[in-house]
Amino acid sequence: MADRTKKTAAPDQLKVQRAEDAKKALSDYEADAAAVQAKTARLKALRLARDAAEGQAAPKTAGSTKKKAAKPGKDKPQSLSEWLKNRQGAGWRN
């Protein structure tokens, strides 16, 4: 009978040990997540302060809204059939 209790006690101890390990791992994970969140908040505050200081010094430009002029010699792209003809005429094998 004593052998039987030892056999059932071992799996119970494993379950308890696994549960304790899981709790420890979860607490480590949550601590790491809290540290990352705090670091992110600190860096965001620093970035916003830097951007505010730069914003007072010189306002940002939104970029030009002018349309760029097309390059000379490139009116429109060639069709595939024209491109293939040009390649054959230049000596390329298809």
Indicate whether 34 pLDDT > 90.
yes
Q: Which residue has the higher pLDDT, 35 or 92?
A: 35
- Complete DSSP assignment for 3-37: HHHHHHHHHHHHHHHHHHHHHHHHHHHHHHHHHHH
In a domain, 90, yes or no: no
Q: Classify the C-alpha dihedral 51-53-54-58 as positive or negative.
A: positive
| Domain hosting residue 25, numbered range | 1-55
In a domain, 20, yes or no: yes
In a domain, 50, yes or no: yes
Mean pLDDT, residues 71-78: 72
In a domain, 35, yes or no: yes
Mean pLDDT, residues 66-91: 79
In a domain, 79, yes or no: no
In a domain, 62, yes or no: no
How many domains, the chain?
Answer: 1
